[in-house]
Amino acid sequence: MSDLEAPETKPPTKYDAWAFVIIGLLGIPILALGIGALVLPPGISFTLIRRGLNENRSSWLVLGVLTGLLWLLFLFLSGRRIFSGARGARPPRSGGPAGPGSGSTA
């Protein structure tokens, strides 16, 4: 058989269906961990700051502020990484000077 011919497809088995079920069930805890990572740190930070102010405990206040700042830093860095796109897949600039290896023969 040459490389250009389509490979023979075999009919799906019962194991293929179970693979989708297992992957779907594994996704539920991962989703719960992601939601927890977004919700729990601000709640902990708010509680530490509020109790630190009510009970005049500066250490709890500082810990709450640090927790909140670390959470915001984490959100900023992950958002920047997610929304930046692929780093090496930038299109070539047009209209600029032709550098070495650009293919121009001028």
Q: Could you read off the pLDDT of 9-52 as tens digits, one per residue? A: 877 777 778 888 899 999 999 999 989 988 999 999 999 999 99
Kindly report whether the global pTM for this prediction surpasses the value 0.95: no
Kindly state whether residue 86 falls inside one of the protein's structural domains: no
- Is pLDDT above 70 for 104? no
Confidence band, pLDDT 50/70/90 cuts, at residue 73: very high
Kindly state whether residue 48 falls inside one of the protein's structural domains: yes
83: enclosing H helix or E strand: helix 58-83
Radius of gyration of the chain (CA): 27
Kindly state whether residue 25 falls inside one of the protein's structural domains: no
Q: Which residue range forms the structural domain that includes residue 49?
A: 40-81
Kindly state whether residue 51 falls inside one of the protein's structural domains: yes
Distance CA 70, CA 76 (A): 10
For all residues of the chain together, what is the average pLDDT? Answer: 82
Kindly state whether residue 75 falls inside one of the protein's structural domains: yes
Q: Report whether 53 contacts 65 (CB < 8 A).
A: no
Residue 48 DSSP SS3: helix
Kindly state whether residue 76 falls inside one of the protein's structural domains: yes
Number of domains forming the structure of the chain: 1
Which of the pair, 2 or 71, is modelled with greater confidence? 71
Distance CA 34, CA 74 (A): 13
Note the pLDDT of residue 2. 59
Kindly state whether residue 99 falls inside one of the protein's structural domains: no
Kindly state whether residue 97 falls inside one of the protein's structural domains: no
Owner of token pair 């984490």: 74
- Is pLDDT above 60 for 1? no
